[in-house]
Chain A
Amino acid sequence: MFTLNVSGIGKHYRETLLFRDISFQLNRGDVLAIAGWNGSGKSTLLRVIAGLVRPSAGRVEMFAGSESIPKESRRRFIGMVAPAISLYDELTGLENMEFFCRVRGFACSRNDCLDIVDRMGLTEHAKKMCGDYSSGMKQRLKLAQALLHRPSLLLLDEPGCNLDSKGIKVVEEIISRQRELGVTVIASNEKREVGYADRIINLSE
């Protein structure tokens, strides 16, 4: 069973303090929302949890059962979607999926990649260049990429960004399904997205 333990996390950039003393523990099935004004550090907190940014204070721990997951092994447990994260425009949607399967080092057939692309409603566009996708289609492809390896920790930074009503339904299904797999952390200002969560941390307070 996957557990995420965040203790006393703080982050400052030069003299600007973004947040401090953020602590929480999440177990399988938990959904946490991180809310706050623009610039309050929601995305940065998600990046700290993902290990993309070093915190100024505190630590992030992950456990598979009782065993601690070392930092260098965490990437196979994490799936992340964020506005700042892009996929390769010069590859097709399907090629992006196949590339990330190979890079992550797990066996993934073309059909597996097609399945996940299909779940995101991108079947017709799977063989088109990602650079030709609309922003909504790119967001769906990012969701597909994040779910490819069935992560135990799903980090969603504004998951509904650029999505139509069908896309938002897809996000809701993803969050609902993720409760069986592991933990979800959502960073958002949208009431609807914050409403998916069992717990809320407001960085503006």
Chain B
Amino acid sequence: MFAVTTLIAVSFSIGSFRIEEAERPFLYSVLLWIILTFSALSGLARSFIKEEEAGTIDVLKLSARPQAVFLGKLLFNLTLLGALELVIVPLFILLMAYQINFPGLFVAMVISGGLGLGAGTTIIAAMIARASARGALFSALSFPLLLPIMIISIKGCERAAVGISTAGWPEVRIAVAYFVIMITMSLLLFPLVWEE
């Protein structure tokens, strides 16, 4: 709901005719990733908070290995984010008349950026689940962790919109590397976060 509402608000208030042709690839990439990132932050953070609030976190700790819990939550978050991107990205392209000259790179960037976003948000959600000042902590933690993936995804989408074909798709590779690093670090650190 947040994503759709934000998208409609952006498309109505800005619209394609208010932005210079030359600036559209960059600005639209920024807008798209702001919508996706904030939607991810508002929606995916609940994955661990819900367990804490329902009182099921202890029985989960007593039953399952920490890595299994993390991977389960990650899979859920990635599925949710994937569904969100499937709805929001086409809608964004339609409503904003977003011209993409290199669709292959664009799709790869959305997928790899989404993977990175999902992985980063999942470990942040685990860290803040038991905090009392979740809002402030969430902002403080998410900014440094998610900024790199946001920047690289914006850059990759901008290139795809402009039609610059860079050999080897470096932005996609960096996003995939980010995803792999986040998963690896999360699997190593999550047991420490999971324990009280």
What is the number of contacts between chain A and chain B, taking CB atoms within 8 Å?
A: 46
Interface majority SS (helix, strand, loop, mixed), chain B: helix
B196 touches A53 (CB 8 A): yes
- Partner-contacting stretch, out of B27-35, B36-44, B59-67, B135-143: B59-67
Residue of B nearest to A48 (CB): B196
Q: Which of B49-78 contact A (CB under 8 A)?
A: 54-56, 58-65, 68
**Which chain A residues lie closer than 8 Å to B195 at the CB level?**
54
Q: Does A108 contact B (CB under 8 A)?
A: no
Q: Mark A3-38, 1 if CB is under 8 A from B, else 0.
A: 000000000000000000000000000000000000
Closest to B55 in A: A86
The interface-forming segment of A74-82, A159-167, A191-199 is A74-82
Bound: A80/B64 CA distance, A:
14
- In this complex, the interface size class of chain A, counting residues with CB under 8 Å from chain B, is 20 to 34
The size class of the interface chain B forms with chain A is 10 to 19
Q: List 9 A-B contacts (CB under 8 A).
A: A52-B62, A53-B196, A75-B63, A79-B62, A86-B55, A87-B59, A89-B54, A103-B63, A145-B59
Chain A nearest Cβ from B92, distance in angstroms: 33
C-alpha spacing A79/B62, complex, angstroms? 8
Let me know if A100 and B63 touch, CB within 8 A: yes
Assess whether B62 is in contact with A88, with CB atoms less than 8 Å apart.
no
Tell me whether A86 and B56 are in contact (CB under 8 A): yes
Q: Return the contact of B196 from the options A52, A78, A84, A88 (Cβ within 8 A).
A: A52
